[in-house]
Structure 1
């Protein structure tokens, strides 16, 4: 019977067996110390890297804030006063639309203005396939039940859109857009004119941080039965 011999080059036959076994299982103390030193060195490099990046991060943040401030201060009190003349004048002005959208976000009701903007864009569509694609996107985002940004519409209006969405036209959302316009004009717009966001602008004061408030109770179409629908303004 032959006996196989296994040689361990790293063994020192002069060392005690316990010490030799410990080296085989755990490695030498020098190797462990070397690994720990490498880990500590890596951690130091990471910390130094963060320290180097911090000024750049601050610069980016300051740049972003400066850009927002510049956007706010370019609006003159005279321009802001015009927005108070009518809701239509507010929406027809680029800065007015952006400021009103910012106000709606503080009330968590920005889906109304986003739906209105989407409808305005939809009516500019030319290609039939583009009309179908955009109509479906608007329906899924704003109209259908449990849509991610569902707008407050009466059942009859939603039902008409649902039945016609397979063959949409450029006027498929006219009634719904008019309803949402009325809701914003009679509800959100009146509060906007009394808000700090607007009053600071017409007084030429620096913009203060905006506070989020609970969503107000939105009016439904039934509360506007006496308001005549002016769909023609969108044509």
Structure 2
């Protein structure tokens, strides 16, 4: 009986040692995995920082060349550009002014407004009934109907009137909607356009001095930069 007791005790001791060894091994692996994960995070943050610096350098280097390309393509004098600031009508009535304003709206992701306005202007030039019907339907599907790819911001009543008349459209079917979008651009977008770099560069006849860190990167924040500095030891 004594022999059996000793043997059983030895088995228990072996089992305890195995458990301790198992915890030690897995604990070490856990720390190693955590260390690798920390290094990976630090590497990603370092890459973001490097990318941000590259973008800032690239912005400063290409600013003048982009302005030169814009001026050459538009071929507009500062004197002519100044006239665009007199009224929204003068801006839209000038081919280069319309192009510059369209470029500005693209930076604000609201180019559907000017594209809708242009489409309406073109639509009113049609004379053939078949063309009026086809183009009215195309404008409706692109800009008016719910979930349209370039849906413009219109009130419910205006959209409802267009929806009911789209089966038998006239050259005035979009007049109310076009007027609404025009007012929106004139009172909102046009004001910001006159203060934008695109316009100010044209009236000054030269590129404005670029300012570093002017725009915040959506993928990199100041807090992340602090984290990068705190993890600098991991990189070494």
- What displacement does 1:212 show? 9.2
Do residues 83 (structure 1) and 81 (structure 2) align?
no
Q: Name the structure 2 match of 1:191.
A: 192
- What displacement does 1:119 show? 0.1
Instruction: Note the 1:58-207 alignment, pairs <5 A.
Output: 70-72=72-74, 74-206=75-207
**Structure 1 runs of 4+ off > 2 angstroms?**
65-69, 206-209
Alpha-carbon contact 2:158-2:177 (below 8 Å) kept: yes
Query: How far apart are the structure 2 equivalents of 1:151 and 1:68?
Result: 28
Q: What whole-Å deviation, never above 9, does each CA across 1:11-67 have from its counterpart, x for those lacking one?
A: xxxxxxxxxxxxxxxxxxxxxxxxxxxxxxxxxxxxxxxxxxxxxxxxxxxxxx886
Query: How far apart are the structure 2 equivalents of 1:135 and 1:105?
Result: 24
Query: How far apart are the structure 2 equivalents of 1:189 and 1:118?
Result: 19
- CA, structure 1 residues 212+97, in 2 after alignment: closer, same or farther (shift >3 Å)? farther
Q: Name the structure 2 match of 1:44.
A: none
- What displacement does 1:208 show? 8.7
Instruction: Note the 1:4-83 alignment, pairs <5 A.
Output: 70-72=72-74, 74-83=75-84
Q: What whole-Å deviation, never above 9, does each CA across 1:153-196 have from its counterpart, x for those lacking one?
A: 00000000000000000000000000000000000000000001
Alpha-carbon contact 1:157-1:175 (below 8 Å) kept: yes
Query: How far apart are the structure 2 equivalents of 1:86 and 1:171?
Result: 25
Gaps of 5+ in 1: 1-64, 214-235
- What displacement does 1:98 show? 0.2
Alpha-carbon contact 1:197-1:207 (below 8 Å) kept: no
Q: What whole-Å deviation, never above 9, does each CA across 1:82-138 have from its counterpart, x for those lacking one?
A: 000000000000000000000000000000000000000000001000000000000
- What displacement does 1:70 show? 1.8
- CA, structure 1 residues 212+172, in 2 after alignment: closer, same or farther (shift >3 Å)? farther
- What displacement does 1:206 show? 3.4
Query: How far apart are the structure 2 equivalents of 1:154 and 1:111?
Result: 16
Gaps of 5+ in 2: 1-65, 217-236
Alpha-carbon contact 2:78-2:204 (below 8 Å) kept: yes
Alpha-carbon contact 1:122-1:134 (below 8 Å) kept: yes
Alpha-carbon contact 2:105-2:189 (below 8 Å) kept: yes
State TM-score, norm by structure 1. 0.59
- Which structure's residues are more often helix, by fraction? 2
Alpha-carbon contact 1:132-1:167 (below 8 Å) kept: yes
Q: Name the structure 2 match of 1:61.
A: none
State how many pairs are aligned: 147
Alpha-carbon contact 2:71-2:202 (below 8 Å) kept: no
SS at match of 1:146: coil
